[in-house]
Amino acid sequence: MQRTATFLWHLVPTATLAIALALVSPGVLRAQDAGTTSETTAGVTPPRRIVISLTERRLHLLEEGRPPRSFPVAIGRPGVAIPLGDSRVLRKRRNPIWHPTANQRRENPALPVSVPPGPSNPLGKFALDLGWTAIAIHGTNEPDSVGRRASGGCFRMLPADIAALFEMVPVGTPVRVVSGSAVLPSPQPAVAVAAAASSPPIPAPPPKVAPPLPILPDPRCATAGAPLRRMICTVPDLAALDGRARGLHQRHLAALPAERRDAAAYALLQEERRFDDRITARCWVRRGMEEDPAVAAAAEACLRDALSVRLEEAKRR
């Protein structure tokens, strides 16, 4: 029992930092990876395709006759080579097993030979293996990394998003990775465009004015005791940044199908806890010292930067 606890103690931080790669080579399936779907019959054209934009850090699912669907992804961290060009989904794995590479295990001998399905698995609950060796679209046990340059070359998705994508795309779906912005098809079919061209011109509707960002106050403000949280609640511009991020999170949840809402709400809760941990470490103020003008100014500047980044991440969802 003591040896098992020691192993798990080493596993949690290393699994967080390890590159979550789908280490099944294109032609070989591991017998222990349950729930695997292998390649489709050659010559069958899948009805959907995937375009991943590194600039946008988003995955776009395209399907003829339907508007594109878009999801945030984590891409390779700085210094890591990221594949570009065309590939396809070679196989789908439900509850995948993570197999660290030989190089990873040489760099970190504490890594196990494999990590079974569960909360410590860096691949999450679903993986779509691509044609590039050891590259996959998969979930993650670190949802806070999604939208960032954080992976070892794979494309991480939020748990609810990869669950939805896993059900929507078949094996054989084409995948294209582009460095710039994705070129998405027009939502209006070509036939409709031709018909419109032969009709009398219709006056353009007035431009839509984007609704103001909703501001949702933090319910903890009434009882906030930590100096940094009290500062966010009482400094108007900090409270506005925090409230706008919360409002966008709620708008995002409300737009999701009911079956995905609980998982997304849990992911946002975990993200908020990690955000509080980060500002506590970066913007630390000793209790009682927030009345010092110099200390308060430094803490407010630190919080303003952290909240601005959080708001931009909320806008990209």
Query: What string of H, E and C letters represents the secondary structure of the chain?
Result: CHHHHHHHHHHHHHHHHCCCCCCCCCCCCCCCCCCEECCCCCCCCCCEEEEEECCCCEEEEEECCEEEEEEECEEECCCCCCCCEEEEEEEEEECCCECCCHHHHHHCCCCCCCECCCCCCCCCCEEEEECCCCCEEECCCCHHHCCCEEECCCEECCHHHHHHHHHHCCCCCEEEEECCCCCCCCCCCHHHHHHHHHCCCCCCCCCCCCCCCCCCCCHHHHHCCCHHHHHHHHCHHHHHHHHHHHHHHHHHHHHCCHHHHHHHHHHHHHHHHHHHHHHHHHCCCCCCHHHCHHHHHHHHHHHHHHHHHHHHHHHCC
Active-site choice (99, 154, 249, 283): 154
Catalytic site includes residue 154: yes
Give me the catalytic one of 99, 138, 249, 283.
138
Q: Which residues are catalytic?
A: 138, 154
